[in-house]
């Protein structure tokens, strides 16, 4: 999931956080633990966003977390047991190292989980987009098919009209042809009768 070495980052975090805790406790600082906690949370939040290399931000978060723990220790159990400049009791360091390992593992797991959720959300958005595209293509094909069907029906209707017009035109032609033939026969008949009448009077004075 990441292009960096988490194991190396863990080792660096342990070293830097322990150093920050020891420096703060031996200095006797009893400052604002909330300040360090806010810095740590901000660094961890930024580390989640930097998937290329969250190491510097993660280390910063662990140093600030360790400083917060140092302030809380001095304000509590270490207020009387640890004096400025004196070494930190072994049991205190042992407990802090255990807490430090747990905190490192928890913070890394939190970051990885956040990245996994980002990947799932991205996959869901991509799947939704692909589904919408598929639906759009399907509807477009349906509209194209409907247009083709309508065009085909229109073409068939126009062909029907054309065939009907051709039939009517052929019938008109036949009727006109019949009328013309009738007229011609009438003229021929009249001419024949005229010839017969003329012959009759010619041969019967």
- Model pLDDT for residues 94-110, shown as the tens digit of each residue: 999 999 999 999 999 99
Mean pLDDT (whole number) for 49-58: 94
Alpha-carbon distance of 41 to 51, in angstroms, equals 17
**Is pLDDT at 2 greater than 50 in this prediction?**
no
In terms of pTM, does the model score above 0.75?
A: no
| Whether the predicted pLDDT of 1 surpasses 50 | no
Please report whether residue 23 resides in a domain: yes
Side-chain-side CA neighbours of residue 134 (13 Å): 6
Domain residue limits at 12: 6-139
DSSP state of 141: H
**Pick the residue with more confidence: 36 or 178?**
36
pLDDT of residue 124: 81
**132 in any annotated domain:** yes
Domain count, the chain: 1
Residue 107 lies in a domain: yes
Question: For residue 31, how many other CB atoms are within 10 A of its CB?
Answer: 15
CA–CA dist 198, 191 (Å, integer): 11
CA 54 to chain centre: 27
- For the chain, the average pLDDT equals 83
Q: Is the dihedral of CA 137, 140, 145, 151 positive or negative?
A: negative
For residues 59, 60, 62, 64, the Cα torsion angle rounded to the nearest 10 degrees is 160
Q: What is the pLDDT of residues 146-161, one digit of tens each?
A: 888 787 788 888 888 7
- 53, pLDDT greater than 80: yes
pLDDT tens digits, one per residue of 125-139? 888 888 888 787 888
Residue 151 located in a structural domain: no
């Amino acid at each position: 999931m990441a292009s960096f070495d988490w194991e190396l980052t863990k080792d660096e975090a342990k070293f830097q956080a322990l150093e920050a805790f020891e420096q703060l406790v031996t200095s006797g600082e009893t400052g604002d633990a909330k300040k360090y906690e806010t810095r740590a949370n901000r660094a961890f939040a930024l580390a989640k966003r930097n998937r290329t290399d969250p190491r510097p931000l993660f280390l910063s978060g662990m140093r600030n977390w360790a400083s917060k723990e140092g302030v809380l220790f001095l304000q509590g159990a270490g207020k009387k047991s640890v004096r400025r400049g004196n070494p930190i009791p072994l049991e205190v360091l042992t407990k802090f190292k255990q807490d430090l390992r747990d905190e490192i593992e928890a913070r890394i797991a939190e970051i990885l989980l956040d990245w996994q959720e980002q990947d799932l959300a991205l996959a869901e958005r991509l799947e939704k987009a692909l589904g919408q595209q598929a639906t759009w293509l399907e509807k477009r094909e349906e509209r194209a098919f409907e247009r083709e069907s309508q065009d085909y029906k229109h073409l068939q209707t126009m062909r029907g009209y054309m065939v009907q017009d051709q039939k009517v035109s052929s019938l008109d032609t036949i009727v006109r042809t019949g009328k013309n033939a009738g007229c011609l026969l009438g003229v021929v008949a009249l001419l024949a009768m005229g010839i017969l009448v003329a012959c009759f009077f010619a041969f019967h004075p």
